[in-house]
Amino acid sequence: MKGESFIVRLKRSWGAYILCTPTLMLFSVFMIYPVFYVIRLSFYQWDGVTQMKFVGLENYIRLLHDPIWWKALKNTVIYVLSKLFVELSLALGMAVVLNSKLKGRKFFRSVFFLPVVTSTAVVGIVFSGILSPFDGTFNQILTKLGLMRSFRDWLGDPKTALYAIIGVAIWHDVGINMVFFLAGLQSIPEYLYDAARVDGAGPWRQFIYLTLPMLRPIALIIVMLSIIGSFKVFDLVNVMTGGGPYYASEVVTDYMFKYGFAGSGLGTGVVAQQGYAATIGIGLFLIIAVLTFFQLKLGRIGE
């Protein structure tokens, strides 16, 4: 086969090209081309309807001086970090417990995973009912348990709105991370634990000196997926608070779509500027790219 000319290989491969055609068409039109489009758009001022106006780096300068962008970024980072630490430790704990030969572990596993399959938009609506300020169940439970004296407007109070959303997000996603950790735990060979036991290590020391180091490779992937996924949070914020009150729970993607789809159901309170939306999108992309890069490096150092 070697030494075959390029043309001959090309001719011989016509079948493969036909097989790839639908994917390539979809891919170039809706995945590759939009990347160049969004870069170009970020140098323009455009309301989406009238003539586009080239403005150079103006959108980027505006982004750096936009207090709401920084606020949205700060909120997103709070969201990312809370999910990272609270959700992943919860998930690891669940995985360790449900990996043991506990009675009923199958039942608990399937119940804990159930929220993962639900739509975040639909769940967001249901939770906004549970968290409702006057007669919401959440308020009633907390006051009845004596944890709180008066009712709170969880989603309407700038102090709590973001954390209420984070709580719902953890409810929704902890199950999938539990399953990831379970996959990691099951890949640790049993004989290592036998050896540790022979050496006199109790359950706690087995966990610290055996389980955690062995989980490292999969944990790095889980952390990366969690960070990247969390940076893109949109549904819950849009459905539960719309970024409010007064941008108290605004996140990057929701802020982007306010400019990108202003005047529609998505965008409220701002003037349409799709060039600016594109710039915010590039900001999001750069953050994710840098984080991914460092993650991959970090993973390699450990090896």
Partner 1 sequence: MKGKAFRTFGKVVLYGLLVLWSMICLYPLIWMLSTSLKTMSEVAKNTMALIPEAFRWENYVEAWTKGNFGTYFKNSIVVTVTTLLLVLWTASMTAYAVAREDFPGRRLILFSLVATLFIPAEATLVPVFHIAKNLGLLNSLAGLIVVSTAGSQVVSIYLIQAYFRTIPKDLDDAAKIDGCNLFQTYWHVILPLAKPVLATVAILTFMGTWNAYLLPLAFTMSKPELRTLPVGLVAFQSGFAFSVNWPLLCAGAAISLMPIVVLYIFLQRYFVSGIAAGALKG
The nearer residue to partner 1, 48 or 210, going by C-beta atoms, is 48
The nearer residue to partner 1, 191 or 297, going by C-beta atoms, is 297
Q: At its nearest, how many Å lie between partner 1 and the CB of residue 238? A: 8
The nearer residue to partner 1, 48 or 157, going by C-beta atoms, is 48
Residue 165 burial by Cβ neighbours in a 10 Å radius (0-12, 13-18, 19+): buried
Q: Which helix (H) or strand (E) holds 45?
A: strand 44-45
The nearer residue to partner 1, 211 or 273, going by C-beta atoms, is 273
- β-partners of residue 267 are 262
Answer for the pair 277, 44: CB distance below 8 angstroms, yes or no: no
Answer for the pair 280, 256: CB distance below 8 angstroms, yes or no: yes
Q: At its nearest, how many Å lie between partner 1 and the CB of residue 280? A: 8
The nearer residue to partner 1, 71 or 235, going by C-beta atoms, is 235
Q: At its nearest, how many Å lie between partner 1 and the CB of residue 225? A: 6
End-to-end CA distance of the chain: 38
Residue 260 burial by Cβ neighbours in a 10 Å radius (0-12, 13-18, 19+): buried
Closest among 111, 197, 202, 123 to 164, alpha carbons compared? 123
Q: At its nearest, how many Å lie between partner 1 and the CB of residue 1? A: 9
Q: How far apart are CA 298 and CA 50, in angstroms?
A: 47
Here the tokens at position 42 are: 């970020």
The nearer residue to partner 1, 134 or 191, going by C-beta atoms, is 134
Q: At its nearest, how many Å lie between partner 1 and the CB of residue 56? A: 19
Q: At its nearest, how many Å lie between partner 1 and the CB of residue 90? A: 8
